[in-house]
């Protein structure tokens, strides 16, 4: 079954370009010209991925991403202007899965879409044991569910994949390149900005005190570590 992509951009030129490239590759496409229209469309039909521009009338991309993240973990790729690093970081911090910097090629667009859709498939076959515990953190691999104490934690597919890297490597330092390659794919191995923001978001959800983490610890100059728990 074809994946359905919602393109949100107030520039007709980009809408036509994006739609043509995606349809050529077999994707179904819906379009919106502002955030209000995008939320209405997303609420009324199944959408597998959103391409979301930032600068739009009525409701900009940041507000739209934030609104959708209140009730859905659908993959979102932000479309940002060249050189606007703060926009990329803010979009990722609000829950976007990736970003594309305008102008971009059809090859780059399709590669990012494939990569994000691939990550949206949450893995459930993760080994022999069903449950994993780390202090107050518990993961049910069979159901891809996560709890902190008695509280269920909602993670995006990317955040869950990132957590699995640590759960499967307790006590081992994982470099930024290890994590980027393992979660996002080899084409992302230098995209440290995405990793930094994703680690910060994951800590906000998993840690009692994100500024003094016990599940995902930074080893300066080396990488990240889930420390062994005391038996």
> Residues with Cβ < 8 Å from 183, sequence gap 6 or more?
119, 158, 161, 162, 165
pLDDT tens digit sequence for 138-175: 999 888 899 999 999 999 888 999 999 999 999 999 99
Answer whether residue 92 shows pLDDT above 80. yes
**12-24 vs 106-119: helix axis angle to the nearest 10?**
70
**Confidence class for position 229, pLDDT limits 50, 70, 90:** confident
The whole-number pLDDT of residue 125 equals: 56
The whole-number pLDDT of residue 206 equals: 95
Fold observed for domain 4-119: Rossmann fold (3.40.50)
The whole-number pLDDT of residue 72 equals: 92
Answer whether residue 126 shows pLDDT above 60. no
What residue spans define the domains of the chain? 4-119, 131-225
In terms of CATH architecture, what is 131-225? Answer: Orthogonal Bundle (1.10)
**Confidence class for position 84, pLDDT limits 50, 70, 90:** confident
In angstroms, the Cα distances linking 180 to 33, 36, 125, 194 are: 33, 33, 21, 9
The pair of three-digit structure tokens given for residue 18, joined into one six-digit string: 């994006």
**Confidence class for position 103, pLDDT limits 50, 70, 90:** confident
pLDDT higher at 229 or 146: 146
3-state secondary structure of 150: coil
3-state secondary structure of 8: strand
pLDDT tens digit sequence for 19-75: 999 999 999 999 999 999 999 999 999 999 999 999 998 899 999 999 999 999 899
Asked if residue 225 lies in contact with residue 217, where contact means CB atoms within 8 angstroms, the answer is yes
pLDDT tens digit sequence for 185-219: 888 988 999 999 999 999 999 999 999 999 999 99
Asked if residue 7 lies in contact with residue 32, where contact means CB atoms within 8 angstroms, the answer is yes
Mean pLDDT of all residues in the chain? 91
Q: Is the dihedral of CA 14, 157, 85, 180 positive or negative?
A: negative
Asked if residue 78 lies in contact with residue 54, where contact means CB atoms within 8 angstroms, the answer is yes
């Amino acid at each position: 079954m074809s994946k359905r992509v919602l393109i949100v951009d107030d520039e007709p030129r980009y809408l036509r370009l994006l739609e043509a490239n995606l349809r050529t590759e077999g994707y179904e496409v819906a379009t919106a010209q502002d955030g209000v229209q995008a939320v209405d469309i997303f609420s009324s039909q199944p959408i597998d991925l959103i391409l979301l521009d930032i600068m739009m009338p009525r409701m900009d991309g940041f507000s739209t991403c934030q609104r959708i993240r209140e009730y859905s973990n659908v993959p979102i790729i932000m479309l940002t202007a060249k050189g606007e690093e703060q926009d990329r970081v803010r979009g990722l911090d609000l829950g976007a899965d990736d970003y594309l910097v305008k102008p971009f090629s059809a090859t780059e667009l399709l590669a990012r879409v494939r990569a994000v859709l691939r990550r949206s498939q949450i893995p459930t076959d993760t080994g022999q044991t069903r449950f994993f515990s780390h202090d107050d953190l518990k993961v049910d691999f069979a159901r891809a569910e996560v709890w902190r104490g008695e509280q269920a934690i909602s993670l995006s597919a990317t955040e869950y994949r990132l957590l699995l890297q640590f759960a499967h490597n307790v006590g081992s330092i994982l470099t930024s390149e290890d994590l980027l390659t393992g979660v996002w794919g080899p084409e992302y191995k230098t995209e440290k900005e995405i990793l930094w923001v994703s680690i910060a978001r994951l800590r906000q959800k998993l840690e009692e005190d994100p500024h003094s983490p016990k599940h995902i610890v930074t080893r300066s100059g080396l990488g990240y570590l889930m420390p062994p728990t005391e038996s």
